[in-house]
Structure 1
């Protein structure tokens, strides 16, 4: 008599299945932290696949979009495929946590951590206290504005005004955020307040470069991190995510520009003599105020992005280097866009090389370093021209501002690609296995 054949999977199969689910869940949580910190889509998806493979889940595909991640596993045989998804509900830059996650990923890929220990360590990372207190982060944002105003020749009085305006804008924005008001309007209000401070200084005929207050406040609001990631995704062929990030950048810029335009319109309505002649342009100089202003912009950006103290100084040095390169290229009669792209490529190359040396993500150094070249003056000048009825000139300035922003992103990625080109072929294929010559087809 033939006995019954059990159709239930044995205990080992059940254990393997549970481990596969846990590995996929770990990969999703790591991917969420990386994507939320602004890491490139290509890096996030490759990291998720490698984590799953390390824990025995080899037939996996990871799909990463701007606000969601999914991972699929096809086990083969008669076992059903599995797909899990996770949403990224908040993208908050925290480079201290990003460094910790990257270190964890390296240890996982090296086979040093069993799955339960990796889950515990990731849980500890997500629960860790911020590297800086909230008051210092608010202060750093205000110091970005103050440093940028000094960079464009505003002086110390203007720096104090820019500091106060940015603190006020940030606190009002935080108040709006607690009430669920969309980020677009938070940015609008923050830029509105900064511009109103400048309009007030012009109205009271204070003998300072009042418009430098606006330039400083705008630089503090511009999305340098999202911009770099956007261009990086596009160059890597992640066009859907690149388009999503670009849309995010454009909405942030639109919010800032709307606030500037509203404040200028109010000032003009009240008879304040706001003119394009009042807009300062950063002197192409390597004198102390400009070099210190550029380094201070990058240093304060690093603190605002929660870069750990041990890595803040290289970011500040990067700001001084990128400004020096930009000035020298401009003095050599390079057009502004070319000078911006080449200076950013140099920082991208040096920052990526240094990041490999100290084993942290390159954006920890690169994103703060590009702060001095963000096009705050062009945005303000363009919006002022439009408000005064000079549509042609305003459009040109706004287009030039967007072009400058894209040149920053492209230059930074070019520097990183130069490092990749001279890396070992095995290493390059491991991180970008799909790269092929297509000749545009």
Structure 2
């Protein structure tokens, strides 16, 4: 009895082409912020679809390795691709997922898949660059409104963020490391607020800093870090954790330098003036939360057709968080539960629209990012209250982890209840179908 076409050794050239295609798919997915589990699963779906089964994908934060050991005793093949550019582009992310789905369904020949992927990598961004710059600044404006700032504060936060972003872009063109780009952006954002306090502007000037900080916080890496840790990908999770640590350190350093200089120069800074979002369901706060979500979505290049669901998710997460706070639920727990709700909503929408859930969930959690706690911690440290500053910074870190864990919890609840995303049917070249398991049965180590 002859072996099926999928079990036969593929032509050597086609084997190489399929592996290269899988590596390029993995690079695009990982560069857009996808979790390690999804990246490895997508790569295996590509290799299975084009007659290269039993491949092992090893994914870490900066490199992807793909290995194939032929069942006929042929020479093993291993290839690696470095991930040097990690910029979020959710429009491209959706296109790559669509291509993987068609390929694993048997409706996309290898030649067409290669052509399709080249078109995806060369496609023009869904929004022009000036829109992305504006969206980033609107994140800061919306966050400043959310924490109680007025129109003048929102305008100042907008200007400060544009100034910081353009300064970072200028440094990037000269090869300066991203750490210092972020530090300079945070420094300029806090400098605008300090100048407003110095001239005694009749506004909540500290809200400018909160807005500028929220625009820089790493919401996407936080969720991916927790997702990788929960999935058992501890090496990549650790790498992402260090990435988050250095991003936060850069932001803290930029704010710290400005605040320390302001205190030494006698600028009347006070912890009591640090703004916090009024935890009531008011139109202005709800508008700020929705505006922040929409701005995040545009900055992440979410296609226009998915902006409304993302905005709905942003409104839902804020309403749930405020209601839980009114019921006197602890802030960290309320953050986790709110994120779980939006994770559940985002995963349900993703299944219906056949897009990655992060298209909705990542922008939606923007209103809960710990910008206020981060600024308060640095101000307390600059004023000599080291213990109080450490507590505030730990609260910011706990909030960030609660957001990531909550989003993943919502997705896992939907997975446990429906289970419809666990197994897909992949068409063999012969026309028959076989199950492709995207996630194997969970391990039960019981802690040892």
Task: Report Cα offsets for 1:169-204 as digits up to 9, x if no partner.
Answer: 000000000000000100000000010000000000
**Distance (Å, rounded) in 1 between the aligned partners of 2:287 and 2:237:** 34
Task: Report Cα offsets for 1:328-382 as digits up to 9, x if no partner.
Answer: 0000010000000000000000110010000000000000000000000000000
From 169, 193, 198, the equivalent of 1:203 is: 198
Task: Find out whether 1:241 has 2:236 as its counterpart.
Answer: yes
**Distance (Å, rounded) in 1 between the aligned partners of 2:295 and 2:40:** 31
**Distance (Å, rounded) in 2 between the aligned partners of 1:84 and 1:423:** 36
Q: Per the alignment, do residues 326 and 15 of structure 1 end up closer, same or farther by CA in structure 2, a change over 3 Å counting?
A: closer
**Distance (Å, rounded) in 2 between the aligned partners of 1:431 and 1:278:** 50
> Is the contact made by 2:55 and 2:69 (CA closer than 8 Å) also made in structure 1?
yes
From 338, 343, 347, the equivalent of 1:343 is: 338
Task: Find out whether 1:438 has 2:445 as its counterpart.
Answer: yes
**Distance (Å, rounded) in 1 between the aligned partners of 2:413 and 2:319:** 21
Q: CA deviation at 1:432?
A: 1.2
Secondary structure of the residue aligned to 1:252 is: helix
Q: Any runs of at least 4 consecutive aligned residues in structure 1 with deviations exceeding 6 A, and if so which?
A: none
From 108, 129, 136, the equivalent of 2:131 is: 136
**Distance (Å, rounded) in 1 between the aligned partners of 2:260 and 2:9:** 67
Aligned length: 429
Task: Find out whether 1:77 has 2:84 as its counterpart.
Answer: no
Q: CA deviation at 1:269?
A: 1.8
Counterpart in 1 of 2:354? Answer: 359
Counterpart in 2 of 1:59? Answer: 54
> Is the contact made by 2:9 and 2:70 (CA closer than 8 Å) also made in structure 1?
no
Task: Find out whether 1:333 has 2:338 as its counterpart.
Answer: no
Q: CA deviation at 1:440?
A: 1.7
Counterpart in 1 of 2:164? Answer: 169
**Distance (Å, rounded) in 2 between the aligned partners of 1:425 and 1:307:** 25
Counterpart in 2 of 1:373? Answer: 368
**Distance (Å, rounded) in 2 between the aligned partners of 1:320 and 1:427:** 30
Secondary structure of the residue aligned to 2:360 is: helix
Task: Find out whether 1:260 has 2:250 as its counterpart.
Answer: no
Counterpart in 2 of 1:27? Answer: 22
- The TM-score with structure 2 as length reference comes to 0.94
**Distance (Å, rounded) in 1 between the aligned partners of 2:139 and 2:311:** 12
Secondary structure of the residue aligned to 1:299 is: helix
**Distance (Å, rounded) in 2 between the aligned partners of 1:197 and 1:324:** 31
Counterparts of 1:100-111 in structure 2, within 5 Å, are 100-111=95-106
Counterpart in 2 of 1:322? Answer: 317
RMSD: 1.3
Mark the runs of 5 or more structure 2 residues left unpaired by the alignment: 1-7, 424-435
**Distance (Å, rounded) in 2 between the aligned partners of 1:94 and 1:155:** 32
Counterparts of 1:87-126 in structure 2, within 5 Å, are 87-126=82-121
Mark the runs of 5 or more structure 1 residues left unpaired by the alignment: 1-12
Q: CA deviation at 1:266?
A: 1.3
**Distance (Å, rounded) in 1 between the aligned partners of 2:198 and 2:19:** 60
Counterpart in 2 of 1:9? Answer: none
**Distance (Å, rounded) in 1 between the aligned partners of 2:393 and 2:178:** 22
From 287, 294, 303, the equivalent of 1:308 is: 303
Q: CA deviation at 1:282?
A: 0.4
Counterpart in 1 of 2:63? Answer: 68
Secondary structure of the residue aligned to 2:11 is: helix
Counterpart in 2 of 1:279? Answer: 274
**Distance (Å, rounded) in 1 between the aligned partners of 2:289 and 2:421:** 38
Counterpart in 1 of 2:216? Answer: 221
**Distance (Å, rounded) in 1 between the aligned partners of 2:353 and 2:374:** 36
Secondary structure of the residue aligned to 1:422 is: helix
Q: CA deviation at 1:59?
A: 2.1
Structure having the larger proportion of residues in helix: 1
> Is the contact made by 2:45 and 2:100 (CA closer than 8 Å) also made in structure 1?
no
Secondary structure of the residue aligned to 1:86 is: strand
**Distance (Å, rounded) in 2 between the aligned partners of 1:15 and 1:436:** 33
> Is the contact made by 2:252 and 2:378 (CA closer than 8 Å) also made in structure 1?
yes
Q: CA deviation at 1:14?
A: 10
Counterpart in 1 of 2:283? Answer: 288
Task: Report Cα offsets for 1:392-422 as digits up to 9, x if no partner.
Answer: 1000000000000000000000000001112
**Distance (Å, rounded) in 2 between the aligned partners of 1:377 and 1:358:** 35
From 175, 179, 185, the equivalent of 1:180 is: 175
Q: CA deviation at 1:426?
A: 8.3
> Is the contact made by 2:290 and 2:312 (CA closer than 8 Å) also made in structure 1?
yes
